[in-house]
Chain A
């Protein structure tokens, strides 16, 4: 395999190898695509609990008395009114209102924000964010040897209690918690990327392997990035480079909730959002019979091209292909897609494909 020497490895790299994972280059890291079955791993999360190594995701700290005010200006979301001990989903916008990335902020103290952004955008996000702050201290801890384990699925709450030994542990949706555990104090957030009840566990270099091993011992299935993509698309959670990118505004993407005070607040991109008219495209869901409508396939209505597929996977939960697509607003079906010169029928479907249970 080319360039493996230059790829970064998470603290669980050897654990993945031992499990027979198919390891692939992803955003500069050597990551597990699957442990044998993308569909089987997807089902394990929906039916019980799975754990993903997402230690490739970029982790930043912002600290100092001006952190809240400066991040308020740097991000589309408002963090000043974010409660301490809560996570929040928002975005970094360009001046023109286009989406540079989506991210989660975690307020851990009055003057301390932790942030997780997409691995593929780490350097670019860092440059943009650092250029937007002046008084706030910034730290990129992505390569500190620690990582993130995402524990997801309807059994995740029970597993978390067993993992920590805290029988009453019950963080609410988007809550942060620092439970004691046999592995020392853990930093967890009730967040995830599957639409299921779940947690992201931020582990130190020393905690990563023991926590991972204990989760497997408790019957949690190891799940790769292939299934992660299936699960997030089933839940219609956007992915940078697909549903969201520089040429798309949060409004085009149907993600207005991630932006706060766009009519009144002063943040980078706000002016452009105020000046922009209504979106001319909309994000829709598609299902198909057999073939997967894949990224980049043109979407047709009555033979005319009306849009393009953003993401497509085979849904393990619905047992059929699903996709998202941007189409011209008001375009009416029946829709089809053109796959390598061959047309096949698709059906417009409400999003998400699989209902969210993350608040359950």
Chain B
């Protein structure tokens, strides 16, 4: 089971709320499906993001994939070091491999996302 202290989007991104800031990353399942990573493209601070829409790209030996935002808001911090240290994303996607932090309007920003148990069903159906 994936961490239960956060919410999940069907397209394999996670969102963790702290005050009015949501940290966003991609799940270990997404990483496993992608395989060995070679490239990560992240936007700049200040960029507006919206749920279900792409804010970046992650590329592996096998494929290029969009990274979608689980929430609406504005990016207040980007994991700037990550594109040059993809090992963190590869091996630690739920902590050191976070991608962006998004300022949201409040806890309601996570409404409609999946909890860890519901996300597990999605993983099972795609495994």
Contacts and interface: CB of A to CB of B under 8 A. Distances in A.
Chains A and B are bound partners: yes
Interface stretch (B12-20, B55-63, B71-79): B55-63
B107 interface: no
Contact of A340 (B38, B61, B64): B64
B64 A314 contact: no
A290 B62 contact: no
A338 to B, nearest CB: 13
B62 A226 contact: yes
B65 to A, nearest CB: 11
Contacts of B57: 340
Nearest to A320: B38
A39 B39 contact: no
Contact of B64 (A37, A230, A313, A339): A339
B117 to A, nearest CB: 24
Contact of B59 (A38, A39, A230, A292): A292
A294 interface: yes
Contact of B61 (A226, A290, A339): A226
Given A290-B38, A292-B38, A39 B61 contact: yes
B59 A291 contact: yes
Interface in A32-69: 34, 37-39
B63 to A, nearest CB: 8
Interface in A321-351: 321, 339-340, 342
Interface in B69-103: none
Nearest to A316: B61
Interface string B31-68: 00001101101000000000000000101011010000
Contacts of B64: 291-292, 294, 339-340
> Size class of A's contact patch?
10 to 19
A318 B78 CA distance: 30
Contacts of B39: 290-292
A292 B39 CA distance: 9
Main secondary structure of the interface of B (DSSP, over half): strand
Nearest to B32: A22
A37 to B, nearest CB: 7
Contacts of B62: 38, 226
Contacts of A37: 36
Contacts of A290: 38-39
A313 B38 contact: no
The winner among A39, A226, A290 for most chain B CB atoms within 10 A is: A290
Contacts of A321: 38
B59 A313 contact: no
B35 A38 contact: yes
Interface in A254-296: 290-292, 294
A290 B59 CA distance: 9
A38 B38 contact: no
Contacts of B61: 38-39, 226, 230, 292, 313-314
Nearest to A22: B35
Contacts of A291: 38-39, 59, 64
A339 B57 CA distance: 11
Given A226-B62, A292-B39, A314-B38, 14 more contacts: A34-B35, A38-B36, A39-B36, A230-B61, A290-B38, A291-B64, A292-B38, A292-B64, A313-B61, A314-B36, A314-B61, A339-B64, A340-B57, A342-B41
15 contacts: A34-B35, A37-B36, A38-B35, A38-B61, A38-B62, A290-B39, A291-B59, A291-B64, A292-B39, A292-B64, A313-B61, A314-B38, A339-B64, A340-B57, A342-B41
State the 9 A-B residue pairs at the shortest beta-carbon distance, nearest first: A290-B39, A314-B61, A38-B61, A291-B39, A314-B38, A39-B36, A291-B59, A39-B61, A38-B36
